[in-house]
């Protein structure tokens, strides 16, 4: 299977990349951390490809996608994982620069990746798009309003996309669950350690994501298998 994965340099993205490769799949990943991308290239040479790309920059996403598609064709699975967390504070204390940056990565970044990869998947009439949502995309919590907003947006964007896809494809908003990552520690430092690490989470998450298909189109699902 050919898998495009954003936010591949750490956390859930890095764990997924390692798991998919170990299972024999080909991963085309991107992230903003140059050193981590270099490490991935050394550990996983071609046919895997890893690139430094900020998904918030549409031109850079277009160049990255064009190279992948020209060399490898349409992906079978597209996973939009890249996202950032706001510094916890009431909404009225969130500054415009940080708020805009979060929107650019968490929402516009997903749209950019879809814009440049999904046409090839639609032409082939196959493939699954998984956009990472959150428990905070289906509920709310104080001090993380910008993040909640972005993940509620992912739910709506993905469900609308699902209605636009041809038969045989799927777009799925996925709640990965609560995992001890740098992002969770920023939002909830004291409680993060009580949750599983990404390396444990991926043992359930990778098979579950690979199992998603047309039957799941437009459904809000979770790694634990819960969905609607």
208 is catalytic: no
Other beta carbons within 10 angstroms of residue 10's beta carbon come to: 16
* Inter-CA distances, 22 with 15, 16, 161, 206, 210, Å: 11, 10, 31, 11, 13
Query: Among 64, 117, 147, 188, which one carries the catalytic annotation?
Result: 147
What own/partner pairs with CB < 8 Å and gap ≥ 24 does 158-166 have? 158/129, 158/131, 158/133, 158/218, 159/218, 159/220, 161/114, 161/118, 161/129, 162/217, 162/218, 163/218, 165/122, 165/217, 166/122, 166/125
Active site residues: 147
């Amino acid at each position: 299977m050919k898998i495009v994965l954003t936010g591949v340099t750490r956390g859930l993205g890095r764990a997924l990349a390692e798991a998919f490769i170990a299972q024999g799949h080909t991963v085309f990943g991107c992230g903003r951390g140059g050193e981590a991308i270099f490490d991935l290239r050394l550990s996983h040479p071609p046919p895997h490809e890893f690139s430094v790309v900020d998904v918030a920059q549409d031109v850079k996403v277009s160049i990255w996608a064009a190279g992948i598609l020209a060399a490898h064709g349409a992906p079978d699975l597209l996973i939009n994982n890249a996202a950032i967390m706001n510094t916890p504070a009431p909404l009225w204390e969130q500054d415009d620069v940080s708020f805009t940056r979060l929107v650019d990565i968490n929402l516009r970044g997903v749209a950019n990746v879809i814009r440049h990869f999904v046409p090839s998947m639609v032409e082939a009439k196959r493939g699954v798009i998984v956009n990472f949502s959150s428990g905070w995309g289906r509920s709310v919590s104080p001090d993380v309003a910008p993040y909640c907003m972005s993940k509620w947006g992912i739910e709506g964007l993905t469900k609308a996309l699902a209605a636009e896809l041809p038969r045989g494809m799927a777009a799925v908003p996925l709640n990965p669950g609560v995992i001890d990552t740098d992002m969770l520690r920023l939002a909830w430092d004291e409680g993060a350690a009580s949750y599983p690490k990404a390396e444990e989470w991926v043992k359930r998450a990778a098979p579950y994501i690979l199992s998603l298909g047309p039957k799941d189109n437009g459904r809000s699902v979770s790694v634990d298998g819960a969905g609607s």
